[in-house]
């Protein structure tokens, strides 16, 4: 028996079948990862005996049944719980359950039966959360106030049915936020100005909601007005900025060039005008930039485009004149026509003779 085993990683091993309940006898186990396999059946309640377990990852499997309080009964050391992408797995605990652990990271993405369309009360007891990922689990309530004050760096509530506005003080209550994903919900209202206080913000996706206002977007909302100047000045760590498919107008702010970490910039399908600022050429990390808008053109590119079109027209005109001039001459001049067809016949005979003697 592996009584001294502390680390067990079976991630992506093409495993199938059920987890043996005897794993619960590994009393010194601190790290258990069986993710990204094809394991089936119920998760053994014997896991609740793993007193020293700190990390439990059972995500990306085919588990079914329930995770109950017994599964976590003695897991006071647990700080990372990853149960996502188990479509048929449910979390069945009492409404007043107080877990024995304090999580730093929770990922229950696509675990649709886990939270029954609302944020669970027990989650309010978790005061050390750094990463909270609850994507695609059919939550249909608003963002709860108890999230204020959490020391989160990652918040992913995308692909739910969350309603209501983004908390107006999010930039003050979650000052360490780096990744914010709220896309594909039913959120409304304007974007809070406090977002510009998030100095560490690197990834933002608020697309496919009903948000509005004159501030930095993200794709597929109803934003309008000028792109705010604080995008570059205040968000120096921003790596991906998507303002695609909105109604922004005016010029691209020169300050965007101050976002030195920017790798991808998408401003396509807006109503921008003016020239492309030279400050963008200083973004050495930029891999992709899109300015697909009918009013934004670099002047040199505009001149090159018209020169190419003029060249094409001249070539087409030359071919047209030469071709039709020859046709008209053959029609009007009988001796030219006879000479032309005689020449064609001679060429044909020479080709056939060459092929015959080859």
Does the pLDDT at position 260 exceed 90? no
pLDDT band at 202 (very low <50, low <70, confident <90, very high): confident
Helical ranges in 80-196 per DSSP H: 170-173
pLDDT band at residue 197 under the 50/70/90 scheme: confident
- The per-residue pLDDT for 133 is 97
Instruction: Specify the pTM.
Output: 0.68
Residue 63 · residue 38 · CB < 8 Å: no
The SS3 of residue 352 is: helix
Look at 6-15, 139-148, 169-178, 316-325 and tell me which has the smallest mean pLDDT.
316-325
Q: Residue 291: which of 276, 279, 306 has the closest Cα?
A: 276
Check residue 300 and give its pLDDT.
44
> How far apart are alpha carbons 243 and 228 in whole angstroms?
11
> Binning pLDDT at 50, 70 and 90, where does residue 278 land?
confident
Phi and psi of 189, rounded to 5°? 90, 180
Q: What is the mean pLDDT of residues 44-72?
A: 97
Window from 30-34, 77-81, 258-262, 283-287 with minimum mean pLDDT: 283-287
Confidence check: pLDDT of 198 > 90:
no
With contact defined as beta carbons under 8 Å apart, do 150 and 175 qualify?
no
At residue 24's C-alpha, the angle toward residues 22 and 27, to 5°, is: 120
pLDDT at position 17 is 97
More confident residue, 315 or 133: 133
Residue that wins the pLDDT comparison between 150 and 337: 150
pLDDT digits (tens, 9 = 90+) for 49-59: 999 999 999 99
Q: How confident is the model at residue 328 (pLDDT cuts 50, 70, 90)?
A: low
What mean pLDDT value characterizes the chain?
80
234 Cβ neighbours under 8 A, 6+ residues apart: 196, 197, 199
From CA 197, how far away is CA 338, in angstroms rounded? 86
Please report which confidence band the pLDDT of residue 225 belongs to, taking 50, 70 and 90 as the band edges.
low
Residue 32 in this model has a pLDDT that exceeds 70: yes
Write the CA distances from 41 to 15, 35, 225, 249, 319, integer angstroms: 13, 14, 54, 55, 74
Measured in degrees and rounded to the nearest 5, phi and psi for residue 325 equal: -65, -40
- Domain boundaries of the chain, sorted by first residue: 7-302, 303-357
**CA atoms within a 13 Å half-sphere pointing along the CA-CB vector of 80:** 10
Q: Which helix (H) or strand (E) holds 290?
A: strand 288-290
pLDDT number for residue 262: 79
φ, ψ for residue 128, nearest 5 deg: -115, 15
Give the pLDDT score at 239. 78
pLDDT confidence band for 230 (50 / 70 / 90): low
Residue 91: its pLDDT value, please?
92
Question: Is 7-302 CATH 3.90.1150.10?
Answer: no
Examine the pLDDT at 10 and tell me if it is beyond 70: yes
Q: Tell me how crowded residue 91 is: count the other CB atoms within 10 A of its CB.
A: 19
Whole-Å CA distances, 308 to 305, 313, 314, 315, 351? 5, 9, 10, 11, 40
Q: How many Å apart are CA 288 and CA 45, to the nearest integer? A: 49
Provide the pLDDT confidence category of residue 333 given band limits of 50, 70 and 90: low
Percent over 90 (pLDDT), the chain:
42
Backbone angles phi, psi at 157, to 5 degrees: -120, 25
Taking alpha carbons only, the member of 210, 227, 233 closest to residue 270 is 227
What CA–CA distances, in Å, run from 55 to 52, 107, 144, 191, 345? 9, 12, 26, 36, 87
Task: Report residue 298's pLDDT band, with 50, 70 and 90 as the boundaries.
Answer: very low
| pLDDT 10s digits, 131-159 | 999 999 999 999 998 888 789 999 999 99
pLDDT at residue 231, as a whole number: 60
Q: Are 296 and 272 in contact (CB under 8 A)?
A: yes
In angstroms, the CA 129 to CA 177 distance is 12
pLDDT value at residue 294: 42
């Amino acid at each position: 028996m592996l009584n001294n085993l502390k680390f067990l990683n079976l991630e992506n091993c093409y495993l199938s079948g059920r987890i043996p309940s005897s794993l619960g006898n590994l009393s010194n186990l601190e790290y258990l990862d069986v993710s990204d396999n094809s394991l089936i059946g119920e998760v053994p309640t014997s896991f609740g005996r793993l007193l020293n377990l700190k990390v439990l990852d059972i995500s990306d499997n085919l588990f079914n049944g329930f995770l109950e309080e017994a599964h976590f009964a003695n897991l006071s050391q647990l700080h990372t719980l990853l149960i996502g992408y188990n479509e048929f797995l449910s979390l069945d605990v009492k409404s007043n359950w107080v877990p024995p652990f304090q999580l730093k990271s929770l990922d229950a993405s696509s675990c649709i039966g886990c939270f029954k369309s609302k944020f669970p009360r027990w989650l309010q007891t978790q005061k050390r959360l750094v990463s909270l990922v609850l994507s695609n689990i059919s939550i249909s309530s608003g963002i709860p106030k108890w999230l204020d004050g959490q020391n989160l760096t990652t918040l992913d509530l995308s692909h739910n049915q969350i309603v209501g506005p983004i908390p107006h003080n999010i930039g003050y209550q979650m000052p360490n936020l780096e990744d914010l994903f709220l896309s594909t919900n039913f959120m409304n209202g304007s974007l809070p100005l406090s977002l510009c206080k998030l100095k560490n913000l690197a990834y933002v996706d608020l697309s496919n909601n009903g948000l509005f206002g004159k501030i930095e977007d993200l794709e597929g909302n109803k934003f309008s007005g000028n792109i705010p100047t604080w995008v570059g000045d205040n968000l120096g760590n921003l790596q991906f900025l998507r303002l695609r498919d909105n109604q922004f107008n005016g010029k691209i702010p020169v300050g965007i060039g101050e976002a030195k970490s920017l790798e991808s910039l998408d401003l396509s399908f807006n109503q921008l005008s003016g020239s492309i600022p030279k400050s963008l050429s200083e973004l050495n990390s930029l891999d992709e930039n899109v300015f697909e808008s009918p009013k934004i053109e670099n002047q040199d590119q505009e001149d090159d485009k018209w020169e190419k079109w003029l060249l094409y027209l001249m070539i087409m005109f030359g071919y047209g004149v030469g071709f039709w001039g020859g046709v008209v001459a053959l029609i009007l001049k009988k001796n030219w026509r006879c000479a032309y067809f005689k020449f064609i016949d001679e060429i044909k005979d020479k080709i056939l003779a060459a092929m015959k003697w080859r």
